[in-house]
C-alpha cells in the first residue's frame, strides 16, 4: 500500500507475453475496489485458480458475552495459556462490524498456509521474532512490529521463540492516516513516521516444489480448506502497491507539546470507523503549569481499548504488561484519583501501549469475560493514595 515496489522478474509492459524457459507464465492482477484501488500484478508458475481438492468449510464461531452492566473494564491477558497456532490460536476479545481484536499466544506453529479473503490484518508482535513468509516475499519481524497484511495475501508464520500477538482484522482497509500523506501519497514532514520506517517484503523467493499443500482461506465468516499440488509461493515476480509490510512501534516518533497533546497525535493507522494508536516513551508536556496527564474525557462516540505492552504504568493499580482497559462509549473516564496532582512536574513517561478506538460499539467475548477483573469500574471511587507513586505516568487513561 505505501508506495510502488517491484520484486523478481516482470515483463516490460503489463498484459504481454512473459515466459520462463519457454513456458507462458500466469499473470494475476490482485487489486482493490474494482480495478480502481491499489493493486499488484503477480506472475505465477501455475494458475492461482488451480485447486486439487476442496476441503472442509468450518464456520468461525464467536461466543458473545453480554454484560449485565455498562461499565469500564480491565482485563489481564498476560497469563493466558498458549493455544493453537498463529492463526487458530487467535482468541477474539471484542469485535464490531468494522474490526475484530484478538489475542494470540500460539502453542504450535502452523503447518499450512493461510489467506484472509475477507479482511486486512494488523498483527502487533508483543513477543517473539520470526519471518512471515508470503506470496510477495519474506517479511521478517521482531518484538514491537506491526505487520500489515492486505487481504488476499497467502502467508505462513515461521516463528523463532515464544510468540504473543495482538491481532486486528477488518473488512475494510488498513491505511496510513490520510492527513499524514500529501496528494501524491508521500508521507509528510511532521508525520510521526516516514517511508524509511516501512519495511516491504525482502527478496522474493520462488518456490517450485510439487506435492500437497494445504491453504486455509478465511471467507464468508469461516475457514475454507483447499489442497494444491504446487507450492503457493510460485511467483517469479510482482510489482505494485499492494503487499504486506512491517512498521516498528519503536520507530513511531512521538509528537509532544508545551501542553497536553490529544490522542489523535498518537495515531498510527486508520481503518473504517476505527483508528490504531501507539503510545510510546517520550517527554511529557513542558509548560511549568501543564498537567501532563490526560484530562477527563467523555468519549461519546468512541470505545477505547488500550493494550499495555511495556513500561511503567504507575498511574493505575492493576495495570501491568498484557493488561487491557476498555472505556466504552457514553461514559467519562480519566486518570486515577489524585494522580493529576501527583503528576505535576513529571517530564517523561516510559509507557508503551497500543490503542484501538472504534466509533461503533464493541461486543465482548466470553474470553474477555473470563479475563475481566470486575472491579475497575469502581476504581475512581477509591480515595487518593498517600504514596507518591510517580513511577510512570500512563498518558491516556
Rounded Cα gap, residues 31 and 158, in angstroms: 26
Minimum CB distance to Fe ion, residue 296 (Å): 9
CB closer to Fe ion, 44 vs 266: 266
Does 28 bind Fe ion (CB under 5 A)? Our answer is no
The residues in 184-203 that bind Fe ion, with binding defined as CB under 5 A, are none
Q: Which residues pair with 54 in a beta bridge?
A: 226
Total residues at interface with Fe ion (CB under 5 A): 1
> Of all helices (H) and strands (E), which one includes residue 162?
strand 154-170
Place of cell 512471515: 132
CB closer to Fe ion, 222 vs 254: 254
- Cβ neighbors of 387 (< 8 A, separation 6 or more) are none
CB closer to Fe ion, 234 vs 304: 304
Residue from 100, 169, 304, 372 in contact with Fe ion (CB under 5 A)? 304
Minimum CB distance to Fe ion, residue 156 (Å): 37
Range in contact with Fe ion (rule: CB under 5 A) among 41-49, 132-140, 301-309, 346-354: 301-309
Rounded Cα gap, residues 66 and 76, in angstroms: 19
The interface mask with Fe ion, positions 261-300, x = CB under 5 A, is ----------------------------------------
Q: Which residues pair with 380 in a beta bridge?
A: none
- Bridge pairing between strands 210-219 and 222-230: antiparallel
How many of the other CB atoms lie within 10 Å of CB of 91?
20
Minimum CB distance to Fe ion, residue 344 (Å): 20
Residue of minimal Cβ distance to Fe ion = 304
Burial class of residue 224 (count of CB atoms within 10 Å of its CB; 0-12, 13-18, 19+): middle
CB closer to Fe ion, 28 vs 304: 304
How many of the other CB atoms lie within 10 Å of CB of 22?
5
Minimum CB distance to Fe ion, residue 297 (Å): 6
- Cβ neighbors of 380 (< 8 A, separation 6 or more) are 334, 336, 337
If you ran DSSP here, which 8-state letter would residue 175 be given? B
Minimum CB distance to Fe ion, residue 333 (Å): 6
Helices (H) and strands (E) in the chain, counts: 2, 30
Minimum CB distance to Fe ion, residue 176 (Å): 23
CB closer to Fe ion, 110 vs 356: 356
Site residues for Fe ion per CB under 5 A: 304
Amino acid at each position: 500500500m505505501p508506495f510502488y515496489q517491484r520484486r523478481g522478474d516482470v515483463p516490460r509492459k503489463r498484459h504481454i507475453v512473459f515466459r520462463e524457459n519457454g513456458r507462458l507464465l500466469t499473470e494475476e492482477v490482485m487489486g482493490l475496489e474494482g480495478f480502481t484501488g491499489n493493486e499488484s500484478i503477480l506472475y505465477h508458475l501455475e494458475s492461482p485458480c488451480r485447486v486439487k481438492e476442496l476441503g472442509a468449510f468450518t464456520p468461525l464461531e464467536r461466543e458473545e458475552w453480554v454484560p449485565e452492566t455498562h461499565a469500564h473494564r480491565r482485563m489481564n491477558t498476560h497469563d493466558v495459556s498458549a493455544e493453537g497456532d498463529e492463526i487458530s490460536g487467535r482468541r477474539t476479545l471484542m469485535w464490531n462490524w468494522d474490526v475484530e481484536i484478538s489475542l494470540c499466544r500460539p502453542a504450535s506453529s502452523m503447518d499450512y498456509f493461510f489467506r484472509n479473503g475477507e479482511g486486512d490484518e494488523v498483527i502487533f508482535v508483543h513477543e517473539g521474532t520470526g519471518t512471515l513468509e508470503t506470496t510477495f516475499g519474506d517479511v521478517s519481524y521482531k518484538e514491537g512490529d506491526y505487520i500489515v497484511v492486505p487481504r488476499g495475501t497467502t502467508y505462513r508464520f515461521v516463528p523463532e521463540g515464544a510468540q504473543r500477538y495482538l491481532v486486528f482484522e477488518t473488512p475494510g482497509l488498513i491505511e496510513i492516516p490520510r492527513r499524514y500523506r500529501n496528494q501524491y501519497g508521500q508521507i509528510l514532514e511532521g508525520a510521526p513516521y516516514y517511508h524509511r520506517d516501512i519495511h516491504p517484503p525482502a527478496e522474493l523467493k520462488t518456490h517450485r516444489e510439487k506435492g500437497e499443500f494445504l491453504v486455509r482461506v478465511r471467507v464468508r465468516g469461516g475457514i475454507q480448506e483447499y489442497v494444491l499440488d504446487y507450492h503457493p509461493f510460485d511467483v517469479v515476480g510482482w510489482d505494485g502497491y499492494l503487499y504486506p509490510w512491517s512498521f516498528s512501534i519503536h520507530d513511531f516518533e512521538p509528537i509532544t507539546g508545551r501542553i497536553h497533546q490529544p490522542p489523535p497525535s498518537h495515531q498510527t493507522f486508520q481503518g473504517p470507523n476505527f483508528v490504531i494508536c501507539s503510545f510510546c516513551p517520550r517527554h511529557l508536556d513542558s509548560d511549568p503549569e501543564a498537567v501532563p496527564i490526560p484530562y477527563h474525557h467523555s468519549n461519546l462516540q468512541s470505545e477505547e481499548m488500550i493494550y499495555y505492552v511495556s513500561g511503567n504504568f504507575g498511574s493505575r493499580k492493576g495495570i501491568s504488561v498484557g493488561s487491557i482497559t476498555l472505556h466504552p462509549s457514553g461514559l467519562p473516564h480519566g486518570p486515577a484519583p489524585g494522580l493529576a496532582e501527583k503528576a505535576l512536574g513529571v517530564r517523561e513517561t516510559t509507557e508503551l501501549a497500543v490503542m484501538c478506538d472504534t466509533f461503533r460499539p464493541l461486543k465482548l467475548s466470553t474470553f474477555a469475560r473470563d479475563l475481566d477483573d470486575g472491579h475497575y469500574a469502581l476504581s475512581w471511587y477509591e480515595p487518593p493514595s498517600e504514596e507518591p507513586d510517580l513511577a510512570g505516568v500512563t498518558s491516556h487513561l
